[in-house]
Amino acid sequence: MSAAEPIDAIRAAALRSDRFRLEREADWQRLEHIVTQMEKGRLRRISDEDLLALPGLYRTVASSLSIARETSLDAATLAYLEALVKRAWFVVYGPRSSLGAWLRGFLGGGWSRAVRAIGFDILVALAVMVAGTVVGWLLVASDTEWFYTLVPTQFADARVPGASAEALRGTLFGQSERGGLSVFAAYLFSNNAQVSILAFALGFAFGLPSLLLLVKNMAVLGAMLWLYHGAGLTLDFAAWIAVHGTTELFAILLAGGAGLHIGRSMAFPGARPVLQAAAEAGRRAALVMTGVVLMLVVAAVLEGYARQLVDNTGGRLAIGGTMLALWIAYFLAVGRRRDEVRA
């Protein structure tokens, strides 16, 4: 091999790289300009023609990168194309907003509008929950053996039919250190979280299992209300439950409404195909359930801290009532559009 052959090979490679760049550089520069403007949030400066051409330009530059790798073009060209393709991918296929922006949109109206959109189903679920509480009360009032059927046996210590008012009062106050009723509270939270998930998940069966689950869960509360009412401690027990229960039971209500919404959409799809109706209802209900998870986290914090620190009926009612008022105000007022206001 002569000394001139390596030099000729280098020159040929450089010429090939220059020709490759010249043939395609206009598309690269056009894509880079579009990507740069979008990264800076200057969408108004991008023409409609450029926006429509964006997907095609991305595929063209990605193809150029593939060819450049196969033909071993110069390192500078490869580095430029790799960086450009990565930036363009995030513009074309990447997330449209940050987590913070999504959260602001979710809490700023997305969640509340989804809840209002299933308002009828929530009202039905509320009626079922009230009926379940009444059923639990009436069953135990007619036969105390129902109490042991409805209430978990591991909590049948002082909280049983025939217990004295002093014993029942002792389970409501002064138990923050000993954890007697705290264990029951933890059970209620765990149980209610499971009920929320199941009430939503079972909605596909036309919503009927969701409604039955709500009745069963609320019958436990009805039985406990009957027990404390007999000892003259109805308000005290309601206050103890209210600290975290107004948030927790509200979450169950929304979950039951979301499950019923899916089931009702499948049973009565109207003019739409069943799968389309179910898909639309599912997206709306999933948004509601995202908020339900948030409510359950808030309820856990209230149960773990507020209920432990506040050991009087008035303070507990204030906390529970405030939380209930805040939730209702949020769902009724936040994120209302003009068409909702006119309606």
How far is residue 32's CA from residue 202's CA, in Å, rounded to a whole number? 49
Tell me: the pLDDT tens digits for 292-303? Answer: 989 988 988 887
- How many domains, the chain? 2
Tell me: the pLDDT tens digits for 19-51? Answer: 777 788 888 899 999 988 888 878 778 888 888
Domain presence at residue 185? yes
Q: State whether 166 and 219 are in the same domain.
A: yes
Domain presence at residue 161? yes
pLDDT grade, residue 117 (50/70/90)?
Answer: very high
Residue among 284, 245, 306 at smallest CA distance from 115: 284
Q: State whether 65 and 129 are in the same domain.
A: no
Sequence-ordered list of residues with C-beta below 8 angstroms from that of 85, at least 6 positions apart, any chain? 58, 61, 62, 65
Please identify, among 38, 71, 92, the residue that sits at the C-terminal boundary of a domain: 92
Average pLDDT over residues 114-118: 94
Domain presence at residue 63? yes
Is the pLDDT reported for residue 11 higher than 70?
no
pLDDT of the residue at 199: 82
Least confident of 15-19, 131-135, 224-228: 15-19
Average pLDDT over residues 57-83: 82
pLDDT of the residue at 156: 58
Structural domain range at position 13: 7-92
SS3 annotation, 294-343: HHHHHHHHHHHHHHHHCCCHHHHHHHHHHHHHHHHHHHHHCCCCHHHHHC
Q: State whether 229 and 310 are in the same domain.
A: yes
Q: State whether 84 and 14 are in the same domain.
A: yes
- Of the two residues 275 and 317, the one the predictor is more confident about is 317
Average pLDDT over residues 114-126: 94
- Of the two residues 251 and 179, the one the predictor is more confident about is 251
How far is residue 132's CA from residue 222's CA, in Å, rounded to a whole number? 7
How far is residue 244's CA from residue 296's CA, in Å, rounded to a whole number? 9
**In 3-state terms, what secondary structure has residue 157?**
coil
Please identify, among 31, 62, 92, the residue that sits at the C-terminal boundary of a domain: 92
**Which residue type occupies 228?**
Y
How far is residue 94's CA from residue 182's CA, in Å, rounded to a whole number? 46
pLDDT grade, residue 202 (50/70/90)?
Answer: confident
Q: State whether 210 and 317 are in the same domain.
A: yes
Domain presence at residue 34? yes
Q: State whether 43 and 126 are in the same domain.
A: no
pLDDT of the residue at 276: 86
Domain presence at residue 2? no
DSSP-assigned letters across all residues of 69-134:
HHTT--HHHHHHHHHHHHHHHHHHTS-SS-HHHHHHHIIIIIHHHHHHHTHHHHHHHHHHHHHHHH
pLDDT grade, residue 14 (50/70/90)?
Answer: low
Q: State whether 167 and 26 are in the same domain.
A: no
pLDDT grade, residue 3 (50/70/90)?
Answer: very low
Domain presence at residue 257? yes
pLDDT of the residue at 270: 82
- Of the two residues 16 and 129, the one the predictor is more confident about is 129
pLDDT of the residue at 152: 76
pLDDT of the residue at 343: 44
Q: State whether 123 and 69 are in the same domain.
A: no
Rounded percentage of the chain residues whose pLDDT exceeds 70? 84
pLDDT of the residue at 21: 76
Q: State whether 82 and 199 are in the same domain.
A: no
Q: State whether 119 and 70 are in the same domain.
A: no
Tell me: the pLDDT tens digits for 300-340? Answer: 888 777 777 888 899 999 999 999 999 999 999 998 865 55
Q: State whether 161 and 73 are in the same domain.
A: no
Residues, the chain:
343
Tell me: the pLDDT tens digits for 139-198? Answer: 999 999 999 898 877 665 678 888 888 988 888 887 554 444 555 556 666 777 788 888
Q: In 2-15, which positions are buried (b, 16+ CB within 10 angstroms) versus exposed (e)?
A: eeeeeeeeeeeeee
Q: State whether 70 and 178 are in the same domain.
A: no
Domain presence at residue 1? no
Please identify, among 42, 65, 92, the residue that sits at the C-terminal boundary of a domain: 92
Tell me: the pLDDT tens digits for 87-107? Answer: 888 777 765 556 677 788 888
| Average pLDDT in the chain | 83
